[in-house]
Structure 1
Amino acid sequence: MPIYEYECKACGHRLEKLQKISADPLTECPACERDELNRLVSAAGFRLAGNGWYETDFKSGNKKNLAGEGGAEKGTTPKTTAKDGAAA
């Protein structure tokens, strides 16, 4: 369920509400109790972290950044040469 952001035109009170997509927007302000509440358009705020499907399935080659992998820097893996397979 998405979290919707609301602002009252009358008193300026802002709030967030977890609602179903199919739910009707709120209209009554909990602060001033007037029917002046408007739903705002805001960006989704989430981050996928960890080593789940999104981390491995949609990246290719050395772009994969698996949790727990070693390397000189976070997200890097040692490069190998095609000739002998040794780390460069």
Structure 2
Amino acid sequence: MPIYSYKCSACQYEKDVLQKMSDPVLEVCPECGQPTFGKQVTAAGFQLKGSGWYVTDFRNQGGGKPSDSGSSSSSTST
């Protein structure tokens, strides 16, 4: 489930809420009770760590790109 950041435009109260995507948007501020509670736009919070696809598939290890080495070997055979 995604975590949404909310902020009240009346009292500046902020809260992160764990919600399903199908849940209704919160509109009433739990702090002041005004209907001015709205979602904020935030960046995604994840990191790629470990020996993931980038290290194993796209790391340049002293040679050309994998597609370049395939095309150069076919041109040397002609």
Q: Tell me if both proteins adopt one fold, taking TM over 0.5 as the criterion.
A: yes
Q: What residue number does 2:8 align with?
A: 8
- Give the share of equivalent positions with the same residue, in percent: 37
* Structure 2 match to 1:42: 42
Could you tell me which runs of 5 or more consecutive residues in structure 1 were left unpaired when the two chains were aligned. 65-76, 80-88
User: What do you get for the CA RMSD once the two structures are aligned?
Assistant: 2.4
For 2:12 and 2:53, locate their aligned partners in 1 and report how far apart those are by CA, in whole Å. Answer: 44
- TM-score, normalization by structure 1: 0.58
4+ aligned runs moved over 3 Å, structure 1: 56-59
Q: CA separation in 1, counterparts of 2:34 and 2:41?
A: 21
Question: Greater helix share, 1 or 2?
Answer: 2
Higher relative contact order, chain-length normalized (CA < 8 Å, sep 6+): 2
Structure 2: which 5+ residue stretches go unaligned?
63-78
